[in-house]
Every structure is written in C-alpha cells, then in structure tokens.
Chain A
Amino acid sequence: MQPQFSRAEVAKVPEGALVHEDSTAKWFLVSSVTYFFIVGIIALIIAAKFVWPDLMGTMSWLSYGRLRPLHVNGMLFGWLLAADMGLAFYIIPRLCGVPLWSEKLGLATAILWNIIILGAVVTLLAGLNQGWEYAELPWYLDILVVVAWIMFGVNIFLTVAQRKHQAMYVTIWYTMGCILWTAFVYLTGNFATLFTTGTNQANLNWMYVHNAVGLIFTPIGLAIAYYFIPRSSNTPLHSHKLSMVGFWSLAFVYVWTGAHHMLHGPISQWLQTIAIAFSLMLLIPVWAVVYNLFATMKGQWHQLRESVPLKFLMSGVVFYLLTCFQGPMHSLRTVNAIVSKTDWIPGHAHMAVLGCFSFFAIAGTYFVVPKIWGRVLHSESLANWSYWMLMIGGLGFYTTLWLGGFWQGWQWNNWSIPFIDTVIALRPIWLVRFFSGVMMFIGIVMFAYNILATVTGANEEAAA
C-alpha cells in the first residue's frame, strides 16, 4: 500500500500552492461504492434464481426480467462508470497541473448522476424498459444521461484546455477519447435504435452494446490503469509512444466490431466478415497495452506483495489480455457457432467488466480515497482479503461459465436433445456460479466497508 499523508502533513499548504479540492471525486466515489454493494445484492438474487427459479415467488418487480436489467445498468452506470468518472476528476487535474475547471459543475454532475441511477432503480423495477440490451433506461433518463455527460465532458475538456504542460499523458488521451466516443455511441444506441426496425435495429443495438464496452469502459479503464500502475509502483511507463500506438489503433479498429454479435444471423455476409476482420485486428491495441504495462513492471513485481492496488491493477491487466484474446477468437464463425448466446458470453462479459475494468476502478479507489480524505486506509488486511475473495470467486465464476457455455453450445447444436434437457443439465454449473458469486459479493462487502470506514474515519474515532 502507498504511504499515506497524515492530516498534519496535508494541512501544510505552501503559500500560492496548487490546491485540489476533490469534492467532486469524493461524491462520485462514495456513491459508486455504495451502488456496488447494493447492486451486488441484486446480482446474488438473480444468480440464485438460476438454481431456484421459484425464489421470491411471482412478485413482478422481483422477477428475473426486471432484476437483470437493474443489475446490468446498476453495475455499469451506478458503480463502474461513476467510479471511473470520480477517478477521472481526481487524475485529470493532477496530470494537467491545474485545479478542476469547476467543482460546482462537478458536484452538479454527481447529483444528477445519482438522480439518474435512483430513477433507473424505480423505472426498471416498475417494468419501464425499452427492451434493448444496455439501453433499457426509458428515454427521459437517457436525456438526463446525455446532459450529465455533457457536464462531465465540459469540465474535463476545459481543465485540459488550461493545462500546465503542453504534452498530454496517455491517460488524458484515453479520457478525452472516452468522452467523445461515448457521445456518439450512447446517442446511436439509445436514440437511433428507437426509429429503426427489424434487422437494422438489432444491428445498431449490437453495435452500441459492443462499443459501450469497447469505446466507453475500455478507454476510461485503460486511462485509469495507465495512471495508477506507474503511480502505485513509482515507476515511469515503459513507452509513451507505444501507448499512443495502442490508443490510435483502438480508435480506428474498435468501432466496426459490433456486428460479430450477429454472426450466422440475418445480416449481410460482408458486414459479418468486416466485423470478424476488425475483431482480429483488436489484437494490435490489446498487445500494445498489455506489453507496455507488463514492461513497466519489469523489476518491480516484488511490489505486488505489499500493494493491494497493484495486485488489482496487474490482475486486471491479465484479465484484459484474456478477455481480449477471447473476443477475437469467438468472433470466428466456427467458434461462434458453438458459443454464441450461451453462458460463455456472460462469462466473457464478466471477466471484461468485473475482472478487468472493475479491478482497475477498485485499485484506483483504494489508492485515492485515503489520499483525498487525508486518512490511512481503515484496514490493509481487509483490503487484501477483498482482493482474494474477488479473485478466487471471479475465477470460479468465469471458468464455470466458459465450460458450461461450451457444453451448452454443443448440446444446442445437437437437435435431438430437447431444449428443456439442456436447461436442466446446466443446473450444477449455475450452482457453482452462485457460490462463486457469494465469494465475489463478500469481496465487494469487504471493499465497500473498508472504503466507507476510511471515509468516515472509523479508525480515528476508535483511537479517540
């Protein structure tokens, strides 16, 4: 764990020195960690419903069809994107050497974001759902998301515009890329789809879904990794030029891959082939990122023993490599014929969003919270335990779903097997998935408690 500054040390601010208020970062981080815990409960319930379908009876607002979109949107926008935005509000002013352009605008963004998430809870549980993957929120909440994103973008871009250094570190590139790409991707996925029909609508939706991961969570996640790995290890990045290769190859390649979700479906073959070709080209930015971050740690691996943020960060890089190898491979027509629509896909998606990007966000939160509150972390031991619970539970979850997904795909490809038999056969897989989920949830509880206890100063109260 990084050395922390005492309250007395942080109080010594030299005359005329730059002061980071960090109030926006604090709001985003506290609310995102709280949502991580709450939505984790929803995740456990829907994992249990796979094994015990009658759980919670027939109450419509506790049905799988309503809880599942709440889980997806809550984790993506309530936890992960909110945590990423909070970390961006911490990182960007520091990399630019100037205060955040407007803390007031940042606080307004945080309040609006919380209104959106609470609105999502109410509307999704009430069954008000657009019926599109990752685009379930009703249109009026979509408009609020656009407004909040513009507020976030204006604050970050105007902070960057008044930066002290002319050259921008790769984290700034990825953050700005994320802001611009999200504007395009979110508008297309949530508004253009409303006015389309049939196959074109499905194609637009999958383009949005894949780019939500590739052009929203990937760039902001990599921005965080590129900042916190050198910062936590106190080691400069291996190569800034290589990081630029990764950024630009991502910018040119990722946007065309969405149609690989519709392989063997009713879209033209040329569009499927383009999606496959660009999916394979993704290996270029992925390798540029992974090699760069691993080379940064050369000679520094011993630091992982002591540093929980580094444990999360480097495990996240390994999961990034694995998930980004899986993606191109199951974009191939032959592999896709087996794994498409099976449990393999949630296994892959969870490794990307939880194993990789959430690990980056957890690492950043563990690093940042003690610094901006000027307190030591509540418990190093608990932080270490949270890592191992999330790691072991996650590995059980991913591998179970990959194996189960392949098995499920083989059964579906055999038309002599009745569909209901393939559902019954998967029950042991879902049981392991549930218990792996319990381990992950315990890890989330440990993380959330540790962070909130640090924020409230539980250690200091006990000492007093």
Chain B
Amino acid sequence: MAQTDYTYPSVYFAYLFFALMFFLAVYFFLRSRRDGYWGENGEEAKFQMFDDDETHRRAP
C-alpha cells in the first residue's frame, strides 16, 4: 500500500502550487505599486474604455 499511496506527494504538490501562487500575487502586487496604480494617476485607467472605437468594425 505504501508504494502506491501518493497522498503526501500530491498534497505537497498542491501546497507548492498555492505557495507559488501566493508569491506571484505578492510580486505583482508590489509591481502594481511601482507602476502607479495606487498613485495620483491611478484613476486614469477607468476612462480608457470610452476611448475605444465602436464604429470601426467590419460590416457583417
């Protein structure tokens, strides 16, 4: 039984995945601060969606 039970490797695999996800989240969070999402110009992104070109579409 011990030879075919992969419970612990699988659980460690899952924990490793989620630890990786946590550190990626920390990295991108810190990067979002560096890129100015929390600064004075942090609200600019919300106006971009009105900047798209709805009429510039190929006729069906």
Complex contacts, B53 vs chain A, CB 8 Å:
17-18
Given contacts A167-B48, A184-B17, A251-B29, whether A5 and B54 have CB atoms under 8 Å apart is yes
B48 with A252: CB separation less than 8 A: no
For B5, B6, B37, which residue has the most chain A Cβ atoms within 10 angstroms?
B37
Whole-angstrom CA separation of A94 from B55 in the bound complex:
12
Q: What residue in chain A is nearest B60 (Cβ atoms)?
A: A374
Q: What residue in chain B is nearest A251 (Cβ atoms)?
A: B25
Q: What residue in chain B is nearest A3 (Cβ atoms)?
A: B54
- Partner-contacting stretch, out of A42-50, A198-206, A274-282: A198-206
Complex contacts, B34 vs chain A, CB 8 Å:
none
Complex contacts, A169 vs chain B, CB 8 Å:
45-46, 48-49
Partner of A227, one of B5, B17, B38, B49: B49
Interface residues on B, range: 35 or more
Complex contacts, A374 vs chain B, CB 8 Å:
57, 59-60
Partner of A197, one of B5, B25, B32: B5
Whole-angstrom CA separation of A19 from B54 in the bound complex:
9
Whole-angstrom CA separation of A148 from B14 in the bound complex:
22
Complex contacts, B43 vs chain A, CB 8 Å:
239-241
- Partner-contacting stretch, out of A8-16, A33-41, A382-390: A8-16
Given contacts A192-B13, A195-B10, A201-B7, whether A19 and B56 have CB atoms under 8 Å apart is yes
Complex contacts, B9 vs chain A, CB 8 Å:
195
Contact with A along B1-40 (1 / 0, CB 8 A): 0000111011101100110111011000100100111100
A167 with B45: CB separation less than 8 A: yes
Whole-angstrom CA separation of A198 from B13 in the bound complex:
17
Q: Decide if A255 is an interface residue (CB 8 Å cutoff).
A: yes
Q: What residue in chain B is nearest A21 (Cβ atoms)?
A: B58
Complex contacts, B29 vs chain A, CB 8 Å:
248, 251
Whole-angstrom CA separation of A184 from B51 in the bound complex:
34
18 other contacts beyond A180-B24, A196-B7, A241-B43, with CB at 8 A cut-off?
A7-B59, A7-B60, A9-B55, A10-B58, A10-B60, A13-B56, A18-B53, A20-B56, A97-B48, A165-B45, A167-B41, A169-B49, A188-B13, A200-B10, A201-B7, A230-B46, A230-B49, A252-B25
A residues in contact (CB < 8 Å) with B: 5, 7, 9-14, 17-22, 94-95, 97, 165-171, 180-181, 184, 187-188, 192-193, 195-198, 200-201, 204, 207, 227, 230-231, 234, 236-237, 239-241, 243-244, 248, 251-252, 255, 371-375
B residues in contact (CB < 8 Å) with A: 5-7, 9-11, 13-14, 17-18, 20-22, 24-25, 29, 32, 35-38, 41-60
